[in-house]
């Protein structure tokens, strides 16, 4: 049985049908990448899964539980956005521990979890700094660290590297791949960058106008694109 299951998902904004009866099963531990041109519905789909948008139809199931109408805070998911959205007046440690503190976790447990996440992300020496004392890549790692300490069932990334310069993007991409190897966490990752998709994904989902054009491993998409759209999207560097 799938770990995360999307059945007949519909989303409408006003007159615009943005996600059209979408079906997708994701296995536990999988790294799934959503790709597709700007405006095809990638972020909307992620926000529906996260519970940040109201769903108009269909069912979402996670780990055997129907989460379709659960509030975001009860879904056990963590989302990392393209803008870091860190608290500017808090230290890295405070930023990373904030959710656990709200949940009234034990301080020694909080420290343990933050220290472990900081180690994975090479942030140990920056825990006392504030976000403005960090580089863009370090800030994005703090944002990822905030997600890690919550130990969510699923990580949701929406173009987490798109605000970074090319060198940092490559480096942070490697960190994300390593993170997935270390934690084995189920991950959904949105990007419009083919290189990111092809290097990170166990499976790639190609979206176009709110519909899935093809789902497959990077190799399957290269070797056997289902149609011209997939072939062009996968094959043409941007
Ligand atoms: P992507 O992330 O693939 O670029 P989005 O999911 O952001 O695409 O957007 C998909 C479509 O939904 C676009 O046509 C966009 O204009 C529309 N859309 C997204 N969010 C809203 C919103 N809050 N209100 C109205 N339309 C929206
Ligand atoms: Mg988007």
Specify the pLDDT at position 167. 80
Protein residues whose CB sits closer than 6 Å to any atom of ligand 1? 13, 16, 18, 36, 38-44
Largest CA distance in the chain: 55
The model's pTM is: 0.91
Specify the pLDDT at position 97. 95
Query: What is the number of the ligand closest to the CA of 47?
Result: 1
Query: What is the number of the ligand closest to the CA of 41?
Result: 1
Task: For ligand 1, pick from 14, 34, 38, 44 the residue to mutate: most ligand atoms within 8 Å of CB.
Answer: 44
Specify the pLDDT at position 163. 79
Prediction ipTM score:
0.98
Q: What spacing in Å lies between the alpha carbon of 43 and ligand 2's midpoint?
A: 4
**208: β partners:** 211
* CB crowding 134-171: b at 16 or more within 10 Å, else e: beebbbbbbbbbbbbbbebbbbbbbbbbebbeeebbee
Specify the pLDDT at position 197. 92
* Distance from C-alpha of 108 to C-alpha of 234, rounded to nearest angstrom: 47
Q: Digits of tens for pLDDT over the chain (238 positions)?
A: 899 999 999 999 999 999 999 999 999 999 999 999 999 999 999 999 999 999 999 999 999 999 999 999 899 999 988 777 899 999 999 999 998 998 899 999 999 999 999 988 889 999 999 999 998 889 988 999 998 898 899 999 999 888 778 887 888 888 888 888 888 899 999 998 888 999 999 999 999 999 999 999 999 999 999 999 999 888 754 4
């Amino acid at each position: 049985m799938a770990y995360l299951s999307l059945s007949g998902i519909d989303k409408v904004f006003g007159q615009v049908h943005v996600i059209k009866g979408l079906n997708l099963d994701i296995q536990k531990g999988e790294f799934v990448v959503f790709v597709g041109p700007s405006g095809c519905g990638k972020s909307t789909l992620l926000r529906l899964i996260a519970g940040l948008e109201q769903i108009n139809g269909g069912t979402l199931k996670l780990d055997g539980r129907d989460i379709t109408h659960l509030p975001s805070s009860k879904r056990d998911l963590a989302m990392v956005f393209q803008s870091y959205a860190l608290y500017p007046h808090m230290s890295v440690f405070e930023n990373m521990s904030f959710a656990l503190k709200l949940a009234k976790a034990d301080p020694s447990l909080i420290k343990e979890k933050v220290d472990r996440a900081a180690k994975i992300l090479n942030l140990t020496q920056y825990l006392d700094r504030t976000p403005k004392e960090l580089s863009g890549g370090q800030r994005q790692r703090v944002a990822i660290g905030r997600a890690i300490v919550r130990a969510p069932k699923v990580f949701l990334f929406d173009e987490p590297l798109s605000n970074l310069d090319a060198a940092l993007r490559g480096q942070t991409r490697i960190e994300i791949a390593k993170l997935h190897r270390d934690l084995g966490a189920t991950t959904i990752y949105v990007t419009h960058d083919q290189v990111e998709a092809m290097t990170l994904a166990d499976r790639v989902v190609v979206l176009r106008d709110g519909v899935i054009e093809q789902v497959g491993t990077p190799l399957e998409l290269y070797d056997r694109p289902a149609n011209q759209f997939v072939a062009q999207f996968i094959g043409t560097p941007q």
